[in-house]
Amino acid sequence: MTVAERVAMLRAHFGREVGITGPQYTLLMAVLQLGDGVGVPPRAVADHLRVTRAFVALEAGRLVRAGVLAKRANPADGRSNLLSLTPRGRRMLDRLIPEVRAVNDLFFAGLDAPGYACARRLMARLLADSAKALKRVARSRA
């Protein structure tokens, strides 16, 4: 829990640096990572961040109004949209890159490449197993 709280604190810091919230910063970074300049469906962002589609829709709307995120019809599926960074949004994130790198270098300083790969595998396993635990708890409440 302490690590998760610290990650949230760092994301809040990065967001404040450019005038948005930590969750909005996280959403923009997901769009950047997943969209590859082409755009990404909101559902993919929600799945990647493990948040609800409603959360993505709400925050994306705020970011569109702020001029840092663009939403357009998905040419491959007329029922959905694609999210992408605007030039202003890309400049915003580009300004953060030196600070994000410096912080990440400190945050992950104790991990070499094999250690980082091991940590990624462990986190993937914990995510999968925690989902099973949550399903069990949800069933017991029903």
Q: In this predicted structure, what is the pLDDT of residue 140?
A: 85
Average pLDDT over residues 31-45: 91
Same domain, 35 and 105: yes
Q: Are residues 80 and 123 in the same domain?
A: no
User: What's residue 98's pLDDT?
Assistant: 96
What's the pLDDT at 38?
87
| Predicted confidence band of residue 120 (pLDDT cuts 50, 70, 90) | very high
Q: Give yes or no: residues 81 and 140 share one domain.
A: no
Average pLDDT over residues 19-27: 96
Mean pLDDT for 99-128 is 93
Residue type, 136: R
Pair 12, 71 in one domain: yes
Residue 69: what are its φ and ψ, rounded to 5°?
A: -135, 145
Residue 93 and residue 28 in one domain: yes
- Rg for the chain (alpha carbons), in Å? 17
Residues 128, 71 share a domain: no
Residue 22 · residue 7 · CB < 8 Å: no
pLDDT in tens, 61-94: 999 999 999 999 998 888 889 999 999 999 999 9
Same domain assignment for residues 129 and 61: no
Number of domains in the chain: 2
User: To the nearest whole number, what is the mean pLDDT of the chain?
Assistant: 93
The reported pLDDT for the residue numbered 132 is: 93
Residue 11 has pLDDT above 90, yes or no: yes
Same domain, 54 and 124: no
pLDDT (tens digit per residue) in 92-113: 999 999 999 999 999 999 999 9
Is 80 exceeded by the pLDDT of residue 36? no
Provide the residue type at 94 as one letter.
D
Query: Are 15 and 56 in the same domain?
Result: yes
Domain that holds residue 53: 2-109
Same-domain check for residues 134 and 83 = no
